[in-house]
Structure 1
Amino acid sequence: MHRHKFDALLVSSPPNVRYFTGFDSQFWESPTRPWFVVVPLEGDPVAVIPEIGAPEMALTWMKDIRTWQAQPGQCGH
């Protein structure tokens, strides 16, 4: 990251989120509820996930978990 002058990475694919957080779940099967992890150049990663996944993500080593409300069948606008 430093070599390419990236301040942070935004990852969203299940394998990448799993790599950085250790979180693995069937929640990935919902395309209307995307999951993101911001990996800063310095400091700990930040999970930005649907609130339904927060309790399970809290079981990982992640400390900064930010959620957004996602209702079943809801699409993003």
Structure 2
Amino acid sequence: MATGETGFSDVAYDLISVQYHALKGGHDYGQYVRDAENAGKNEIADFFRKVMEEDSRRAAKCHDYLVQLAAAKEAGPAAA
């Protein structure tokens, strides 16, 4: 498995990146939900909730894959 400059496999790095952005988005979307609710835009608030749920599932799936890579010792510096 290819290893990037970080010492972690490219695949692990990519999964961590997607997970980070999904979690960061989920945090930000909470504010978007509140903004839409405060503006009386319930349909838009529901849309933001759906996006937040999708990102939550995406982050969880990344976690599952990272656990698999770690168990196979294919994620971190030990894999090099």
TM-score by length of 1: 0.23
Q: Which has the higher strand share?
A: 1
Q: Which has the higher contact order (CA 8 A, sep 6+)?
A: 2
Structure (1/2) with the larger helix percentage: 2
TM-score normalised to the size of structure 2? 0.22
Structure exhibiting the larger radius of gyration computed from Cα positions: 2
